């Protein structure tokens, strides 16, 4: 059977074909532009390597000369004087290990511009007095109302299950000042499971900073200029191993962040041994002086819809009541006071967004000092 078309039908068909053709050309043009932006971003992030190391978990670690790290892309650090994971190899002297960014890493992000950054959260009030309305849920201990110059803690490390790629589970310290949702200054450090950023469900060491409530400043690890790394032994964003197991051995990490009273920079010490680097004071407004809130604990993102809560776990995925070997913990909780001295904080408070989903329970004893258990499984019979 032959389908015969009239002249009008020929014209109509020609027009439809032209529309489809133009749409394809526009689509191809856009498709070409995005990889071009990706390549440009990769070139900016991946500095020339003196040596490259392939880790067992699949990461490529580039040993980049300390003066070539992304921090020095910042105009204020152009003439800056630096203040003073090696399972498969070590970086040479005067280089630092940087996890190489791959094209797939950037393509998982919502845009090139937002890669390595947290989503802006329109928080109108501190977490400690009300829940966040953007899917972020917390189980934290905190202090506020004084001037703080640092914080210390030991936290055990787990591999919580994350339901969706763009959800996450983190356990960390927050050192903060300013107004939530407006001009918050925040320095953050701990461990996280964040598939959207890393492309896997490994538990990884991370840092973050912002000076404007996550709007346009700051990033994870070394994915923008800011944090100055000096350690040649620890790669930011690297997988942590071994991990704690339910009714098994418990493994923890120690993190200390404190403000240098002379230069004003915020330094990070990892594992009581590795001085990782510092956030220059000029990055911040309020934190150029001191912090007004310190938080310790867990955070998840709940993006589940249809009236159900996410099954993303916080900490070990078990409630505090289960105790040691089952639940996740923070111990040796301390702040740095105005005399540059570590001490136990006074008046620790707690906060949870949904206490049927994630819980925090504090305590104090001679061995652990101030401590708390925290976390939970997310969706459960009491948290539908």
For the stretch 235-254, pLDDT in tens is 999 999 999 999 999 999 99
Inside any domain, residue 12: no
Query: Which of these, 8, 345, 7, 316, lies nearest to 146 by C-alpha position?
Result: 345
Query: For the chain, how many structural domains are there in total?
Result: 1
pLDDT bracket for residue 6 (50, 70, 90): very low
The per-residue pLDDT for 139 is 98
- Lookup: tokens for 121: 């959260």
Percent of the chain at pLDDT exceeding 90: 70
Inside any domain, residue 229: yes
Helices then strands, each counted (H, E), the chain: 3, 18
Q: Say if CB 278 and CB 258 are below 8 A apart.
A: no
Inside any domain, residue 100: no
Check the CA dihedral 318-322-323-325 and report its sign. negative
78: left (phi over 0), alpha (psi -120 to 50) or beta: alpha
| CATH number of the domain to which 277 belongs | 2.60.120
DSSP state of 240: P
pLDDT bracket for residue 83 (50, 70, 90): low
Helix (H) or strand (E) holding 364: strand 359-365
The per-residue pLDDT for 31 is 44
pTM of the model: 0.84
Inside any domain, residue 86: no
The per-residue pLDDT for 113 is 80
Lowest mean pLDDT among 124-128, 172-176, 310-314, 324-328: 124-128
Inside any domain, residue 147: yes
Query: Which of these, 279, 266, 283, 271, lies nearest to 238 by C-alpha position?
Result: 271
For the stretch 136-146, pLDDT in tens is 999 999 999 99
Inside any domain, residue 88: no
Cite the active site residues: 188, 299
For residue 252, the cross-strand partners are 156
Q: Say if CB 277 and CB 228 are below 8 A apart.
A: yes
Q: Which domain holds residue 134?
A: 114-375
Q: Say if CB 374 and CB 329 are below 8 A apart.
A: yes
């Amino acid at each position: 059977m032959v389908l015969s078309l009239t002249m009008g039908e020929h014209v109509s068909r020609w027009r439809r074909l032209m529309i489809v053709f133009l749409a394809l050309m526009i689509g191809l043009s856009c498709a070409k532009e995005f990889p071009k932006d990706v390549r440009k971003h990769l070139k900016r992030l991946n500095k020339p390597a003196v040596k490259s190391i392939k880790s067992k978990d699949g990461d490529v670690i580039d040993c980049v000369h300390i003066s070539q790290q992304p921090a020095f892309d910042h105009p204020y650090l152009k003439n800056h004087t630096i203040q003073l994971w090696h399972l498969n190899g070590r970086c040479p002297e005067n280089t630092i290990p940087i996890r190489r960014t791959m094209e797939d890493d950037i393509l998982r992000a919502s845009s090139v511009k937002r890669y390595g950054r947290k989503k802006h959260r329109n928080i109108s009030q501190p977490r400690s007095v009300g829940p966040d309305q953007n899917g972020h849920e917390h189980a934290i201990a905190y202090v506020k109302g004084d001037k703080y110059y640092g914080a210390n803690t030991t936290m055990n490390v787990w591999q919580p299950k994350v339901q969706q790629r763009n959800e996450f589970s983190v356990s960390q310290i927050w050192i903060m000042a300013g107004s939530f949702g407006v001009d918050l200054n925040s320095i953050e450090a701990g461990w996280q499971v964040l598939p959207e950023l890393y492309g896997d469900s490994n538990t990884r060491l991370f840092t973050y900073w912002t000076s404007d409530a996550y709007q346009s400043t700051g990033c994870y690890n070394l994915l923008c200029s800011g944090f100055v790394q000096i350690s040649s032994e620890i790669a930011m964003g690297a997988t942590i191993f071994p991990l704690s197991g339910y009714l098994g051995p418990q493994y923890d990490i120690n993190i200390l962040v404190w403000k240098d009273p002379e230069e004003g920079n915020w330094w990070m010490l990892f594992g009581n041994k590795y001085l990782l680097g510092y956030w220059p004071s000029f990055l911040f407004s309020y934190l150029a002086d001191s912090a007004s809130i310190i938080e310790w604990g867990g955070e998840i993102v709940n993006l589940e819809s249809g009236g159900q809560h996410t099954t993303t776990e916080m900490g070990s995925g078990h409630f505090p009541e289960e105790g040691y070997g089952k639940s996740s913990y923070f111990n040796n909780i301390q702040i740095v006071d105005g005399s540059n001295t570590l001490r136990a904080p006074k008046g620790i408070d707690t906060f949870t967004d949904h206490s049927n989903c994630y819980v925090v329970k504090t305590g104090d004893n001679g061995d652990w000092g101030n401590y708390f258990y925290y976390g939970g499984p997310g969706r459960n019979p009491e948290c539908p």
